[in-house]
Amino acid sequence: MLKKTKSLIAASLLGVMVAPMALADDTLYAEEVEYGRMLTIYHSADCDIDIEWVKDVQSYDLNVAMIKVDDIQSRRDNFGAPKRADRCSVGFIGDYYVDGPVDPGRILDFVDQAPNELGLSAD
C-alpha cells in the first residue's frame, strides 16, 4: 500500500491526478482524472465517514479516493486546513482542503471560482 500511496503522491506532484479504482476482485488500478475532479479523503482508522455523503459527491461526477492514515493532523498541517480535534478526516481537491461533509455543489463552485482561500468547511 505504501508503494501505491507514494505513486499517487508522485503523480499529483507532476500535475496528474490518479484515481485508484477497485475492480470486482478488489484489484486496484489507476486512471487519470481531470485535475480538480478528484476528492481525496484522508481519514483515521476509527473514523466513520458518511458513505451517503460520499455517494452524493460521486453523483456530481467527482472521483473520490479514501486513504487511511495514522496522523490526520499532519495532513491538515501540510495543506493549511484548520486544526480540528473533533474531526477524524480531511479532504483535498485540487489545491484546496475540504473540511467536513461540504455540499458537493458548493465544492465544485468553490473549485471553479479558484479563490485565494485555502479551502472550505462544512461549518
State residue 36's pLDDT score: 53
∠ at Cα 55 (85, 107), nearest 5°? Answer: 60
Compute the distance between CA of residue 44 and CA of residue 69 in angstroms, rounded to an integer: 5
What's the predicted TM-score (pTM) here? Answer: 0.69
Enumerate residues 6+ apart whose C-beta is below 8 A from 12: 18
* Domain positions in the chain: 34-121
Compute the distance between CA of residue 117 and CA of residue 35 in angstroms, rounded to an integer: 18
pLDDT digit string (tens) for 80-100? 888 887 888 999 998 899 998
**Please, what are the averages of pLDDT over each run of 10 residues along the chain (123 residues)?**
40 41 43 66 89 92 91 87 85 91 94 91 87
Spacing of C-alpha 75 from chain mean position: 11
- Name the region of 100 (left: φ>0; alpha: ψ -120 to 50; beta: rest): left
Residue 64, CA atoms < 13 Å, CB-side half-sphere: 23
Instruction: Give the dihedral sign, CA 32/21/110/41.
Output: negative
Please provide the CATH number assigned to the domain covering 34-121.
3.40.30
